[in-house]
Amino acid sequence: MRTDAEPETAHQEVALPAGATEPPRQWGRKLPAVGFGLGAVALGASVPFAGGGPRFYGSYLVAWLFAVSIALGGLFFVLLHHGARAGWSTVVRRLAEHLAATMPLLAVLAVPLALGLEELYPWARPEAAQDELLAAKSAWLDPGFFLARAAAVLGIWSLLAWWFRRRSLAQDASGDPAISRRLKALAAPGLIVFGLTLTVAAFDWIMSLDPHWYSTIFGVYFFAGSVVAVFSTLILLALAARSAVGEVVTAEHFHDLGKLLFAFVVFWAYIAFSQFMLIWYGNIPEETLWYAHRTGPGWEGVTVALAAGHFVLPFFFLLSRAVKRRAATLVAGAVWMLAMHYLDLYWLVMPNLDPHGAHPHALDLTTLVAVVGFGAGAFGLLARRRALVPVRDPRLAESLSFENV
Amino acid sequence: MSGERKLWGLLAEFTSPARLAEACRGVRDAGYSRWDAHTPFPVHGLEAAMGLRRSPVGWFVLGLGLAGAAGGMLLQWWTATTAYPLVISGKPLFSWPAFVPVMFECGVLGGAAGAVLGFLLLARLPQPFHPLFSSERFERFSDDRFFISIEAADPRFDRAATAELLDRLGAQHVEAVETGGAAAAAA
Amino acid sequence: MAVAEIDPHTLDIDPAVTDIDPVEGRPRLVAGAPGFHGVTEAVARPVEWKPPRGWYVVLAISLAALGIFGVAIAWLFWEGVGIWGNNIPVGWGFPIVNFVFWVGIGHAGTLISAVLFLLRQRWRTSINRAAEAMTIFAVMCALVFPGIHVGRPWLAYWMLPLPNQMAMWPQFRSPLMWDVFAVSIYGTVSLLFWYLGLIPDLATLRDRAKTRIRRLAYGLFAIGWRGSHRQWMHYEKAYLLLAGLATPLVLSVHSVVSFDFATSQIPGWHTTIFPPYFVAGAIFSGVAMVVTLMVVCRVAFRLTHLITLLHFDRMAKLMLLTGTLVGYAYATEFFIAWYSGNPFERFAFINRALGPYAWSYWIMVTCNVVVPQLFWFKKLRTYIPVLFVASILINVGMWFERFVIVVTSLHRDFLPSAWGLYAPTTWDILTLIGSFGLFFTMFCLFVRFLPMVAISEVKGVLPEARVHE
């Protein structure tokens, strides 16, 4: 309908404040030390509990999934940006590249989970051989094959994240538009690989916690939650980055991030409701048991809190244009959505280990701090000595000057 | 010509959206209130150039949308639990998961009705008769020309001074529009 | 520090009238720099002059098919539903396949109009009017089938929640009731959105009208539009909000249609991925239909400078994307059928590929998964013959997808003693052909009497429309 603000001609002279073009000296300087330090302490505090059954592994899995889903969302953001040839998001893309590139560290952090396979997954235990249903899928749910798939999936994500970040950083130096063309060509098959690997990961790591249960939409569900998480994280990072790059990140960018966060909150609710309603309607015990655990007296409150907090409240909150354009209010919403995303993962994982009720434990906090601490430390290392904005991306000018309706 | 002919206002023609926007800023700064710009497509940034406030259509959408959703849920709840209760495949009478789709659709319908009604009300349409349609040159507003109209009813209006202002602001052509008479209908 | 400088001359395009992408030297959305008046002329001309002879030919064929539709429906009402091939165990046959097919086609119009608008894809302006019209006509065709397929069609109004002397009310727990609301509300909202978009263009036609009848007709529906910016402001907000409403509507309507199947307990039907899978498939088939229509219309009405190869390139990419999503759903369903360990679920998928209807399954897979892979190649995305044939094949494939879903799951479900076969009757096939008659008749009338490109929107994306000089 209306004309967007266009780059005036192909010759572009854009004045970026010094903080944007130079790698930030002070910004996030302490992040690696603080992140790794906190992470190590928290991990140390958690490990003594490792021997006491599935509680440690459950908490750790939730925390790890939380971090991985954000990194995964970052990878999706980068792939989509290149594949769709988006302009407006150029300003925040570097932050997403760093997020995605924490994947190798997160892969290493998966090792405790590999050690606790039997604690977490019923199919990994010796008694699974007697279960007829598990025997039927033992070709897939075999510990060796499972670990190989996990390694492959994490490896593919790490490679994609690393490659896209590396080429983007190379463009900082050369300004070569051919890099953008190449990344666009790679993004489309990248997205296909992304979709397939994410589905395998969701089926393997979360769905098989209850190996009798299945849902074809589960991969999409995990994807929706991850995208909500990454937009929330990008909003926080964009605000943090403003202290270094100044008004390069404008109200327009927050507005767009807010709109996308809103859209994916609604998308998440659509997927979550579809899954629930279809299983409820068909009323087949094999499928409904999973929900019965979550709507029984122990977990009912969490389910209601999730529906209200992950959808109803943010729907009305993020509807407002004013909320989306002001960093302070949008950031509050983003923090809330991250908390809700954690709750979502908690709700997916824990009822399989403790069907009788939600019993929060200090471990939940320490494992979360551990994984997020290490992840943040890695992010700090990745962001250090690099420009916070892709300074010579040919579409940067478009990103800086665009205006919302 | 029967009927009294009174001056309705002045109509200025421009050849490009950029010139129009500049002229609008001029008219706004000169303190006029009863005036308007006419374009074949919505020109970006003209609200600011004209000093207009944002459109409240959104409130119509929100209000009617929520009313629609509530109405949809109420209809289903009432028919299923009170008016015509049937036990279908063992589901409870108030099977709320099954009622969500229709509730949602009713909400969207309400919202859409709100958008259209809000637009019609705020834009004061349909309005098939308007003095501007008596101007032949004005027909090009829907093709490739851009216009500013200033009503004589505006407190700052002065036939000579306003015409001179429009001329100064870059109008290609300024004409007087009269009300009354037979020719003021669009269709 | 300067951002990358690009020499426009190496990109071989005149920067003065250009919509350049700094990386790719993206060509203009409108070719030939027609200017505002040129756009008006190009789009209004087909409406004001005598249509090309081909139009009369297409209209005649469409009217003939529409006549067949009338005869088929009349015979149906007279003889009863027994004239169709629906039987036990396949109680749902062609009618529901056709219904889902037509609703699906409609979704692309809303996607192009609403979703691409929200995503600020300016290339949509050349095709959104025709696409929205396509949606309305497709929904009309779709709604015919539920209307005629009940045994006593004169009681079809019982589906509406109207107070009556029997104190009866619709049973809202049924997905078929959800369909009634979803599809009719979809039709209504699409109509409102389409009409809102038409108002400025109807004003254009009114202002150009040479005869009194035309002036009155267009003027009536243009409701006195005078391009006032105070009105444009409210108009744009309403348009934006309608686009914002139409987007979840697109998701929800075909999800509700998918619920017809997914809420059951039948293997191959009861699977949670149906809602997004159906939506992706709907957009897939709808965009294909838009491509088919535009290939013909742009040449017939000399609009090739407004509907350019760039537009086909984008639509081909959309088909590739949605086709891939459909392929993803096929793969996931297949895997989970095995993973579930449920023998009925596993059998349902083996039966699809190897059973009596395997031929339809492989048509589906070839047309929906293999054909769109052509669009990885830019040369093929912008080569009209390939686009035309591929888009038709995709629609064939999508029709067969619904056929496969309905027939293969119903003809062999749990008890082998209940297994059977399904075959359509001549009347099934004639009714399907007839529905195309309705669709193309409406579309012919549309291109004859209404502007098939959104004039004011296209003007808005021309370089001359920019205010910042």
> How far does A374 lie from chain C, in Å, by closest CA?
34
Two tokens, residue C94: 């062609």
Tell me whether residues B97 and A276 touch, CB distance under 8 A.
yes
Q: What is the mean pLDDT of chain A?
A: 90
Within this chain, do residues B15 and B66 fall inside the same structural domain, yes or no? Answer: no
Q: Cα–Cα distance between A7 and A393 in angstroms, integer?
A: 14
pLDDT of residue C84: 96
The answer to the question of residue A130 being in a domain is no
Encode burial over A208-221: b for 16+ CB neighbours within 10 A, e otherwise: bbbbbbbbbbbbbb
The answer to the question of residue B2 being in a domain is no
Inter-residue contact A55 to A353 (CB < 8 Å): yes
Two tokens, residue A305: 């809190």
pLDDT at A6 over 60: no
pLDDT of residue C391: 97
Distance of CA C32 to the CA centre of its chain: 30
pLDDT band at A14 (very low <50, low <70, confident <90, very high): low
Two tokens, residue B32: 């006029």
Task: Give the list of residues 6+ apart from residue C469 with CB closer than 8 angstroms, or none.
Answer: B18
Tell me how long chain A is: 405
Two tokens, residue A248: 């390069």
Instruction: Please say which residue of B105, B122, B139 terminates a domain.
Output: B122
Tell me whether residues B100 and A277 touch, CB distance under 8 A.
yes
Inter-residue contact A296 to A304 (CB < 8 Å): no
Q: Cα–Cα distance between C37 and C35 in angstroms, integer?
A: 6
More confident residue, A191 or A240: A191
**Count of domains forming chain A:** 1
Q: Which of A14, A21, A142, A217 to mutate to test the interface with C (most CBs of C within 10 A)?
A: A217
Closest CA to A89 of A99, A100, A78, A98: A78
Closest CA to A346 of A335, A336, A357: A357
Closest CA to C252 of A287, A276, A273: A273
pLDDT of residue B17: 92
- Could you read off the pLDDT of A190-224 as tens digits, one per residue? 999 999 999 999 999 999 999 999 999 999 999 99
Two tokens, residue A83: 């594949």
Tell me whether residues A1 and B42 touch, CB distance under 8 A.
yes
Q: Which of A6, A271, A273, A405 to mutate to test the interface with B (most CBs of B within 10 A)?
A: A273
The distance in angstroms from the start CA to the end CA of chain C is: 23
Minimal Cβ distance to C172: which of B16, B102, B144: B102
Contacts with B97 from chain C: Cβ below 8 Å? none
pLDDT of residue C16: 36
Tell me how long chain C is: 469
Give me the residues of A, 217-276, that contact B with CB < 8 A. 273, 276
Q: Cα–Cα distance between C357 and C376 in angstroms, integer?
A: 30
Q: For the beta carbon of residue B179, count every other beta carbon within 10 angstroms.
A: 18
Closest CA to C412 of C354, C366, C359: C354
Give me the residues of C, 6-45, that contact A with CB < 8 A. 6-8, 11, 15, 19-25
Minimal Cβ distance to B55: which of C167, C222, C233: C233
Give me the residues of B, 150-179, that contact C with CB < 8 A. none
Strand partners, B179: B6
Give me the residues of C, 150-209, that contact B with CB < 8 A. 161, 167-175, 177-178, 181-182, 185, 188-189, 192-193, 196, 200, 203-204, 206-208
| Contact C166/A at CB under 8 A | no
pLDDT at A323 over 90: yes
- Domain limits at A321? 29-125+140-400
| Averaged pLDDT, B11-28 | 93
pLDDT of residue C23: 57
Q: Cα–Cα distance between C97 and C95 in angstroms, integer?
A: 5
Contacts with B62 from chain A: Cβ below 8 Å? 319
Tell me whether residues B101 and C181 touch, CB distance under 8 A.
yes
Two tokens, residue A291: 């929900």
Tell me whether residues B97 and A3 touch, CB distance under 8 A.
no
| Averaged pLDDT, A328-352 | 96
> How far does A342 lie from chain C, in Å, by closest CA?
23
pLDDT at A130 over 50: yes
pLDDT of residue A405: 58
Within this chain, do residues B114 and B71 fall inside the same structural domain, yes or no? Answer: yes
Within this chain, do residues B61 and B118 fall inside the same structural domain, yes or no? Answer: yes
Tell me whether residues A281 and B98 touch, CB distance under 8 A.
yes
Minimal Cβ distance to C5: which of A12, A277, A396: A12
Say which residue the tokens 């007296």 belong to. Answer: A297
More confident residue, C24 or A354: A354
Give me the residues of A, 50-109, that contact C with CB < 8 A. 85
Tell me whether residues C219 and B130 touch, CB distance under 8 A.
no
Minimal Cβ distance to A280: which of B41, B43, B97: B97
Say which residue the tokens 């990248």 belong to. Answer: A190
The answer to the question of residue A133 being in a domain is no
- Could you read off the pLDDT of C241-285 as tens digits, one per residue? 999 999 999 999 999 999 999 999 999 999 999 999 999 999 999
pLDDT at A280 over 50: yes
| Averaged pLDDT, C131-135 | 95
This model's pTM is above 0.90: yes
Inter-residue contact B56 to B103 (CB < 8 Å): no
Two tokens, residue C446: 């549309």
pLDDT at B187 over 70: no
Q: What is the mean pLDDT of chain C?
A: 91
Tell me whether residues B17 and C181 touch, CB distance under 8 A.
no
Q: Parallel, antiparallel, or unpaired for β B6-14 and B173-179?
A: antiparallel
Inter-residue contact C221 to B110 (CB < 8 Å): no
pLDDT of residue A358: 87
The answer to the question of residue B93 being in a domain is yes
Within this chain, do residues B43 and B63 fall inside the same structural domain, yes or no? Answer: no
Inter-residue contact C410 to C90 (CB < 8 Å): yes
DSSP assignments along C213-263, one per residue:
HHHHHHHHHHTT---BHHHHHHHHHHHHHHHHHHHHHHHHHHHHHHHHHHT
> How far does C273 lie from chain A, in Å, by closest CA?
4
Residue B48 is part of a domain; what is its CATH number? Answer: 3.30.70
Within this chain, do residues B48 and B64 fall inside the same structural domain, yes or no? Answer: no
The answer to the question of residue A175 being in a domain is yes
Q: Looking at chain C, which subunits does it touch, using at least 3 CB pairs closer than 8 Å as the criterion?
A: A, B
Inter-residue contact C26 to C301 (CB < 8 Å): no
Q: Looking at chain B, which subunits does it touch, using at least 3 CB pairs closer than 8 Å as the criterion?
A: A, C
The phi, psi pair for A10, rounded to 5°, reads: -75, -20
Closest CA to A381 of A24, A32, A5: A32
- Domain limits at B152? 7-54+130-185
The answer to the question of residue A160 being in a domain is yes
Q: Cα–Cα distance between A219 and A207 in angstroms, integer?
A: 9
Minimal Cβ distance to A3: which of B44, B98, B100: B44
Two tokens, residue A4: 């967007």
> How far does A116 lie from chain B, in Å, by closest CA?
38
pLDDT band at C14 (very low <50, low <70, confident <90, very high): very low
Strand partners, B178: B7
Give the class (CATH, top level) of C60-447: mainly alpha
> How far does B10 lie from chain C, in Å, by closest CA?
15
Give me the residues of C, 119-148, that contact A with CB < 8 A. 120, 122
Contacts with C461 from chain A: Cβ below 8 Å? 3
Give me the residues of B, 22-81, that contact C with CB < 8 A. 36-47, 50, 52, 54-55, 57-58, 61, 65, 75-76, 79-80
Number of Cβ pairs closer than 8 Å across B and C?
Answer: 225
- Could you read off the pLDDT of B24-73 as tens digits, one per residue? 999 999 999 999 999 999 998 899 999 999 999 999 999 999 999 999 99
Give me the residues of C, 209-238, that contact B with CB < 8 A. 215-216, 218-220, 222-238
Inter-residue contact A368 to A33 (CB < 8 Å): no
Minimal Cβ distance to A216: which of C23, C272, C461: C272
The answer to the question of residue A17 being in a domain is no
Two tokens, residue A202: 């969701």
**Count of domains forming chain B:** 2
pLDDT of residue B184: 45
| Averaged pLDDT, B131-158 | 91
Closest CA to B98 of B86, B108, B110: B86
Q: Is C414 helix (H, G, I), strand (E, B) or coil?
A: coil
Task: Give the list of residues 6+ apart from residue C433 with CB closer than 8 angstroms, or none.
Answer: C65, C68, C69
User: Contacts for A316-320 with beta carbons within 8 Å, 24 or more apart?
Assistant: A318/A258, A318/A261, A318/A262, A318/A265, A319/A262, A319/B62
- Chain C residue at shortest CA distance from B19: C467
Give me the residues of C, 268-287, that contact A with CB < 8 A. 270-276
| Contact A312/B at CB under 8 A | no
Name residue B61's amino acid: V
Minimal Cβ distance to C241: which of B58, B91, B125: B58
Inter-residue contact A357 to A297 (CB < 8 Å): yes
